[in-house]
Amino acid sequence: MSEEEIERIAELIFQKFLEKEQEHLDSMDIDSSWLVYDPATGDWHATFTPNPNNKEIFTQRLVALNIEKQELIAEEKYEELIKLQEKIDAVKEQLKKYKD
């Protein structure tokens, strides 16, 4: 399987995850006033800080950063890639604490 096929599969899985998450949010009666829209990226961000000791949050962050990394590689934005790699390394260090 080529790297391009693996990236495409990862993107499809991520999109499916986002769809399921949206379905879950739609089924809940929640107050979305704690969400902030970032027009620069088109993303919504929570206004609270998650528990920094949560392995799941670090794993999700790592997946998101790796997707962003693939986009920067495709766009050949190497200076931004270096900064992003530092963030990825920091998340990986945090995840090492959770290894069994």
pLDDT in tens, 56-67: 777 888 888 889
- pLDDT at position 95 is 81
Most confident of 16-25, 28-37, 49-58, 77-86: 77-86
Domain borders along the chain are 1-48, 51-100
The full DSSP string for the chain is --HHHHHHHHHHHHHHHHHHHHHHHHHS---GGGEEEETTTTEEEESSPPPTT-HHHHHHHHHHHHHHHHHHHHHT-HHHHHHHHHHHHHHHHHHHTT--
Query: Given a cut of 80, is residue 76 above it in pLDDT?
Result: yes
**Is 83 a residue whose pLDDT tops 60?**
yes
